[in-house]
Amino acid sequence: MQYSDNQILIDTHKRISPFIHKTPVLTSSQINNLVGADVYFKCENFQRMGAFKMRGATNAILKLSDKQRGSGVVTHSSGNFAQALSLAAKSLNVTAYIVMPNNAPQVKKDAVKGYEGIITECEPTLESRERESKLISQQTGATFIHPSNDIDVIHGQGTAAIELLNDYPKLDAIISPVGGGGLIAGTALAAHYFGHNCEVVGAEPFEADDAYRSLISGKIETNVTTNTIADGLRTQLGSINFPIIKRHIHNIIRVEEVEIVDAMKLIFERLKIVVEPSSAIVLAAIIREKELFKNKKVGLIISGGNVDITQLPF
């Protein structure tokens, strides 16, 4: 990098601000009482297309040259990044090619089509996804953008925490979900440069605890199972985000599936907002380890709200 991370993050936020929502921060006195801390929910479920991924996708496209943008962008994702890249590309008049596994739910394919993403179906394996993406890139000249292991994506995701710290500069900690690692890496950079001794803590399911084990071993470990309701957190850490995580993350709290569901229900009932299981995990983490956060000011990154509301787990 040619200039400081600090300045890069400020520039990133300025760059993407016209294309994203500044999301609200909600609080609940009942949840504060339950946890014994002051909890601030940064509501990225209210972000455009319903998740923080809009931030990173927008930044990655804006960082391309005009020539690159003219040839489009390509990614492989069955989740929120597919929608995010499609909508960000649409907003910026860029073509988005999305490689999706052929077993992806129709509702997700429809969402991508709604944002004018061009879908190519592939076999539901990582190899097939990567092969198809590469092929499209070769044929069209589209630039590949990884959903989480891309420094511009990471910086974009960090802007949620920048906004949270602008609103609440004295946070003692921020808890972020850990999936592919883009959000927590961006959050860690933001807290490092804009917080005041603000620790960043990860929340991860026991059922997909690659980051927890990677922090212990010091190298990227792979998930043994991904049998978690938090479908956004089944992905693996990457070579670009892991070094940032290793340097800046305080610790990772693992939680059980039932704790995720209970926290999700609590958020629906008390905050009156719709969140996905991958977001509810941050509340589950602070409830599980409440003695760590007693009387502290804690920000929670509510990453998204794209859940099938006809199939809620409660």
Q: Where in the sequence numbering do the catalytic residues fall? A: 53, 78
Give the H or E element holding residue 261.
helix 257-266
Burial tier of 203 (Cβ tally within 10 Å: 0-12, 13-18, 19+): buried
* Contact positions vs a copy of itself (CB under 8 A): 24, 26, 45-46, 50, 265, 268-269, 272-275, 305, 309-310, 312, 314
What type of residue sits at position 270? R
Nearest to 232 by CA among 177, 274, 161: 177
- For a copy of itself, the closer of residues 92 and 135 by Cβ is 92
- For a copy of itself, the closer of residues 131 and 265 by Cβ is 265
- For a copy of itself, the closer of residues 123 and 269 by Cβ is 269
Name the minimum Å distance from CB 2 to a copy of itself: 37
Name the minimum Å distance from CB 244 to a copy of itself: 29
| Spatial separation of the C-alpha atoms in residues 152 and 17, rounded to whole Å | 15
What type of residue sits at position 202? G
Torsion sign, CA atoms 195, 286, 178, 271: negative
Q: Which residues contact 149 (CB under 8 A, 6 or more apart)?
A: 180, 181, 182, 237, 238, 239, 240, 241
Name the minimum Å distance from CB 297 to a copy of itself: 20
Name the minimum Å distance from CB 311 to a copy of itself: 10
- For a copy of itself, the closer of residues 17 and 137 by Cβ is 17
- For a copy of itself, the closer of residues 16 and 87 by Cβ is 87
Torsion sign, CA atoms 277, 20, 64, 15: negative
What type of residue sits at position 76? H
Give, in order, the Cα–Cα distances in Å from 43 to each of 50, 134, 150, 170.
Answer: 10, 34, 23, 18
Name the minimum Å distance from CB 268 to a copy of itself: 5
